[in-house]
């Protein structure tokens, strides 16, 4: 798990949803739009939440997700995981806008979404 993924969510009727967004306070938004992801990250940026997680609900292992949180340098760390621990990667970006761009590109599987930055494998 990532450095700020702290809990698993209970699952019901996951076939109805493709994505699930989760913030530290426990708020869950099913199938968030790009605008909703922006608003959730704006709450993180304002200090109202500590992180945003977006997971693919089709993965019942809960190991396919992307997440973002502020880092110590004033930017954001963005992570994505596509299965087991050997498929966990992270990068640091300059600001909330860049984090939103990466999270949105991952969530909506935009072409070459992962080519925007240099990803480093993380061992957790």
Q: What's the rounded Cα separation, in Å, for the pair 119 and 72?
A: 18
What average pLDDT does range 81-105 have in this prediction?
94
Query: Is residue 4's pLDDT more than 70?
Result: no
* Res 60: pLDDT: 82
Q: Average pLDDT of the chain?
A: 87
Map out the domains of the chain as residue ranges.
Answer: 14-121
Cβ neighbours for 30, distance < 8 A, ≥ 6 positions apart: 16, 17, 19, 20, 21, 57
pTM value is 0.85
Minimum mean pLDDT range among 5-9, 46-50, 52-56:
5-9
**pLDDT by residue (tens digit) across 5-27?**
433 344 444 456 799 999 999 99
* pLDDT band with cut points at 50, 70 and 90 for residue 41: very high
64, 91 Cβ separation under 8 angstroms: no
């Amino acid at each position: 798990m990532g450095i700020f993924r702290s809990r698993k969510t209970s699952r019901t009727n996951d076939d109805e949803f493709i994505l699930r967004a989760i913030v530290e306070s426990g708020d869950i938004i099913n199938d968030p739009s790009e605008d909703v992801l922006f608003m959730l990250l704006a709450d993180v940026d304002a200090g109202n939440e500590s992180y945003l997680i977006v997971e693919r609900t089709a993965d019942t292992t809960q190991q396919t997700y992307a997440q973002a949180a502020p880092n110590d340098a004033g930017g954001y760390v963005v992570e994505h995981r596509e299965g087991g621990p050997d498929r966990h990667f992270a990068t640091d970006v300059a600001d909330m806008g860049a984090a939103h761009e990466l999270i949105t590109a991952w969530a909506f599987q935009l072409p070459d979404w992962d080519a925007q930055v240099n990803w480093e494998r993380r061992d957790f």
